[in-house]
Structure 1
Amino acid sequence: MAAATLSTADSEKLSKLQSSVAGLSQISDNEKSGFVNLVSRYLSGEAQHVDWSKIQTPTDKVVVPYDSLAPTPEDPAETKKLLDKLVVLKLNGGLGTTMGCTGPKSVIEVRNGLTFLDLIVIQIESLNSKYGCSVPLLLMNSFNTHDDTQKIVEKYAKSNIEIHTFNQSQYPRLVADEFVPLPCKGNTSKDGWYPPGHGDVFPSLKNSGKLDALLSKGKEYVFVANSDNLGAVVDLKILNHLIRNKNEYCMEVTPKTLADVKGGTLISYEGKVQEVDKVKVLQLETAAGAAIKFYDHAIGSNVPRSRFLPVKATSDLLLVQSDLYTLNDGFVIRNKARANPANPSIELGPEFKKVADFLGRFKSIPSIIDLDSLKVTGNVWFGANITLKGKVVIAAKPGEKLEIPNGAVIENKEINGPEDI
């Protein structure tokens, strides 16, 4: 366990917790020690020890502009050498519950009947075929997604890529008032446990044995991204720059928009208080970005916004299913006909929250090439071949159904009833 300075009371609290955790038969010794270590860091107040006077805006040497990265080799044989060192790792622990789906979020259909996972596989297949390389795909599952994913990957058995799966850690939630694991209080359901954030990718990769196996095959670099980020694809320019400059770690950053309300801060961990069966519990997580401080030659790269295209809600699904994007070899590519470099701001009401409801309310996804913003509230239904332009607000009156007819063109208007169309 890492050294930590604790008060006598906190030391006793940690010692009691260690005894409780030792009796949890559902998790491994590595998971037990990792969890106790994380709690120790939390109790020591590690994250609070920040000297704010030392915080400065990073220079271009630290956060390298994308345009100044070393160019990609023109020789395909040189590109193959780069790719032979690479592994693609997708974080696959999330469920699609927030969008009304069961099972791993990565199996939600995104476009043309293809799921997130389908697109990822097609992308890597394309790379392997084009350059004659063998880039493997690793999926880091959680205890929530493991069983389903094992069945799902069987459909790719004839693919030209190796697919490996491993589980991230399983940690017990803590009863906040008593500081004991929830499973020790008799909660035997999955609610008593949680996957401890994407920072867990590092110990889990090692503890699973996958790290040693990959190193033995000559793999040196791993590209890590969420499975629901459609913009997170292998970038040869970044890989080439890292290898040429001997950078051990690169974090991609991109300018924020008004839609970005989460992420962006490098911290070691965060404590989250929430409710499980009306019991206040504490859930400690780590962020993968926090690892940047452990490398001597780590860099950031200010990449184009196109590399950040997460699908967290049906409003994001509307964007990627629209004519704003096209699909090529598994890559979701932005339509050049869009003049505005920013994506439209889209806000859909709760009637559209679940994927099934969202799909049911659109006969076809509207054209939004020239859309600036869209806000939809109430019982609204869309016909086929609709075009939305500028700033559009569609709000059905309480208790009324509002249908937008086939072929409607709505530009810079607020629609409250049929008479406004």
Structure 2
Amino acid sequence: MADEKLAKLREAVAGLTQISDNEKSGFISLVARYLSGEEEHVEWAKIHTPTDEVVVPYDALEAPPEDLEETKKLLNKLAVLKLNGGLGTTMGCTGPKSVIEVRNGFTFLDLIVIQIESLNKKYGSNVPLLLMNSFNTHEDTLKIVEKYTNSNIEIHTFNQSQYPRVVADEFLPWPSKGKTCKDGWYPPGHGDIFPSLMNSGKLDLLLSQGKEYVFIANSDNLGAIVDMKILNHLIHKQNEYCMEVTPKTLADVKGGTLISYEGKVQLLEIAQVPDAHVNEFKSIEKFKIFNTNNLWVNLKAIKRLVEADALKMEIIPNPKEVDGVKVLQLETAAGAAIRFFEHAIGINVPRSRFLPVKATSDLQLVQSDLYTLVDGFVTRNTARTNPSNPSIELGPEFKKVGCFLGRFKSIPSIVELDSLKVSGDVWFGSSITLKGKVTITAKPGVKLEIPDGAVLENKDINGPEDL
């Protein structure tokens, strides 16, 4: 039955003119693996906590050479690659998420460019920036990068694969059933970075320039900056792959973690965990670290493994309903590739290297006085003594960036805030200070305005009378 399904699908895919032969074969191979049911199940009893040799504590890394010339040599072996395929739709934006303004009028992309520019300028190095787009973000990104043409940084863009969504009940590609617009297609997750880097010609280009490592990170993670200690360590120890992990908090219990499994380091995702062990997986006592998706990978190793078709990462089936049609998209994650590389390690990095902006509550953190901006680097305010960030929950009225910005005359001071919970039609004046635990709830149909200059400490506000 599976063979029949695959044969029908293969025939239909062969007729799709919108994608390349590489994309067709990549897609068919993914579907074939999915249909064969080759999913490897993790045997819980074989899972071990990795040692410090496998997940190296950041503090144990040697300090890199302070010599300018030596630092330049190290940097010239590096390329930076940002995953730029995501749209800002969850935050109510059109176009690539990386062009949302984060701070002082700068977008994610502006900050990334400024960071690499200041490195290149300081050390006389040539660290290029690569942006992996999806077909959703490609055209917009090309227009946006034009503004950096005068910068001292080589910027390359390339597209990740475009695969057809599969109509679930007939198991046929949706575009061959007539859905030829964007909705008929999907980008198959960031695990696709390795073949796409190769197929685009960018991998060979980097190797010809003498680059040895690529630092891969999500474009919305403001903490993912080039780190000389990590680069120095990898080059000296010849590690082919490094995943930055950081200690879990209760907010990260679903994040993938590194384990030692049958003598190899491996990423364990919640989807692979047997139901009986899900609570154990979420425990921050047993699984203390999670994947930040900041990855450092050796370029020659990528070439070797892609050419051997050896990167068989776990398949993530993602069923969706689009325009009333049930479709299936199969994806892979870049972190899952760790087990295929030689001498792969994790490095347990400070939490400051993981500062993603997934929602407007994250945007409030990075726009507040909790952070300052220097040379494109977002740095935490030392006046905050609590090592963890305040927890912020904003109601649906704040979900879209435009609405969020409109409801704050200026972003409140939150250096001494523990938690903030806002629900209902709430509006903030300017120069407000929030401390301790603050809950603000506007009753249905009531507009609640927090006045300019208000200082709210450990307050529960349900109406103007509580101010």
Q: TM-score range by the shorter chain?
A: over 0.9
Structure 1 unaligned regions, length at least 5: 1-8
Query: What is residue 403 of structure 2 aligned with on the other side?
Result: 357
Taking the TM superposition and a 5 Å limit, the aligned residue runs for 1:323-342 are 323-342=369-388
How far residue 53 of structure 1 moved from its aligned partner, in angstroms, is 2.6
Specify the SS of the correspondent of 2:39: helix
Give TM-score, length-normalised by structure 2: 0.87
CA deviations on 1:236-293 (whole Å, 9 max, x unpaired) are 0000000010101100011122333653253622101111111111111110011111
Taking the TM superposition and a 5 Å limit, the aligned residue runs for 1:11-90 are 11-90=3-82
- CA separation in 2, counterparts of 1:343 and 1:297? 34
- CA separation in 2, counterparts of 1:18 and 1:50? 30
Specify the SS of the correspondent of 1:187: coil
- CA separation in 2, counterparts of 1:420 and 1:33? 64
- CA separation in 2, counterparts of 1:226 and 1:129? 24
**Are 2:190 and 1:190 aligned?**
no
- CA separation in 2, counterparts of 1:182 and 1:402? 48
Aligned match for 1:167, one of 149, 159, 162 = 159
Taking the TM superposition and a 5 Å limit, the aligned residue runs for 1:56-135 are 56-135=48-127
Q: What amino acid maps onto 2:229 in structure 1? A: K
Query: What is residue 170 of structure 2 aligned with on the other side?
Result: 178
Specify the SS of the correspondent of 2:224: coil
Question: For structure 1, which segment, 308-317 or 44-53, has the greater mean C-alpha deviation from structure 2 after superposition?
Answer: 44-53
8 A contact 1:259–1:345 mirrored in 2: no
Aligned match for 2:328, one of 282, 298, 306 = 282
CA deviations on 1:173-227 (whole Å, 9 max, x unpaired) are 1111111111111112211111011111100000000000110010110000010
8 A contact 1:324–1:368 mirrored in 2: yes
Taking the TM superposition and a 5 Å limit, the aligned residue runs for 1:199-238 are 199-238=191-230
Structure 2 unaligned regions, length at least 5: 258-266, 270-313
CA RMSD of aligned residues (A): 1.0
C-alpha change, 1:263 and 1:37, in structure 2 (3 Å) is: farther
- CA separation in 1, counterparts of 2:248 and 2:43? 25
Specify the SS of the correspondent of 2:439: strand
Q: What amino acid maps onto 1:301 in structure 2? A: I
Specify the SS of the correspondent of 2:252: coil
Query: What is residue 321 of structure 1 aligned with on the other side?
Result: 367
Query: What is residue 376 of structure 1 aligned with on the other side?
Result: 422
Query: What is residue 5 of structure 1 aligned with on the other side?
Result: none
Query: What is residue 3 of structure 1 aligned with on the other side?
Result: none
C-alpha change, 1:349 and 1:261, in structure 2 (3 Å) is: farther
8 A contact 1:95–1:103 mirrored in 2: yes
Identity %: 80
Question: For structure 1, which segment, 255-264 or 64-73, has the greater mean C-alpha deviation from structure 2 after superposition?
Answer: 255-264
**Are 2:434 and 1:388 aligned?**
yes
Q: What amino acid maps onto 1:84 in structure 2? A: N
Give TM-score, length-normalised by structure 1: 0.97
Aligned match for 1:312, one of 358, 365, 368 = 358
- CA separation in 2, counterparts of 1:185 and 1:261? 40
**Are 2:340 and 1:294 aligned?**
yes
C-alpha change, 1:122 and 1:374, in structure 2 (3 Å) is: same
Q: What amino acid maps onto 2:436 in structure 1? A: G
Q: What amino acid maps onto 1:305 in structure 2? A: R
Q: What amino acid maps onto 2:422 in structure 1? A: V
Q: What amino acid maps onto 2:48 in structure 1? A: Q
Question: For structure 1, which segment, 12-21 or 166-175, has the greater mean C-alpha deviation from structure 2 after superposition?
Answer: 12-21
Specify the SS of the correspondent of 2:115: helix
